[in-house]
Chain A
């Protein structure tokens, strides 16, 4: 079955520190992979996506993510966290043309707290 796992429910980092949020997926083929961010009381905003090519993708707000096929992972990184990055982050897999499905599946989210 298709699934997305975000093993960290909460992460706390100091402002200026580096950040890595983990995401593992289970899928029959290489899926489309996404990271979204949700600020309190808001909808989700797309940070970045991957579906082929260079395994390191750049997104908005200084975020990047690396696809590792051997580990079925798509971890989100940022070299230096800002206080405004405090939010909840969701990893998601999207339907690939070979999958026969049209469903996007989301992880349970990682809530990021940033210490001043």
Chain B
């Protein structure tokens, strides 16, 4: 089925470990984003990309890296995990950055850092 695929669905990390959250879409969407969702805080933008090779920071980029080598993939890297990064992470894509299309969301990755 067409859509946004996130892996893994669940992950437990120890403080200081690194990992990559994967995100792939098969809709040829130019715009992709990563959000974290925490209770009472809604969704906060971590990083976004308006096309292959172009990325920029959102509201809460510290501790995270991204790259966009292809249109389909937009991985999120945690460099050195901290308990404050315990959250649910969502990847989302849209046909264009400023065309009012709205997002298609993945089903999320629940990350726990101990």
Known contacts A43-B90, A43-B107; A106/B43 CB under 8 A: yes
Partner of A102, one of B4, B31, B43: B31
Q: Give chain B residues whose Cβ lies under 8 Å from the Cβ of A109.
A: 42
Interface residues of B: mostly helix, strand, loop or mixed? strand
- The interface size bin for chain A is 20 to 34
Q: Is B56 an interface residue (CB 8 A)?
A: yes
In the complex, the chain A residue whose C-beta lies closest to that of B91 is A43
With an 8 A cutoff between CB atoms, is B97 at the interface? yes
Do the beta carbons of A108 and B97 come within 8 Å of each other? no
Give the CA-CA distance A103 to B42 in the complex, in Å: 15
Other-chain residue from B40, B50, B105, B108 in contact with A45 (beta carbon distance below 8 A): B105
Shortest distance between the CB of A8 and any CB in chain B (Å): 13
Contact, CB under 8 Å: B102 / A34 = yes
Q: Mark B95-107, 1 if CB is under 8 A from A, else 0.
A: 0011010111111
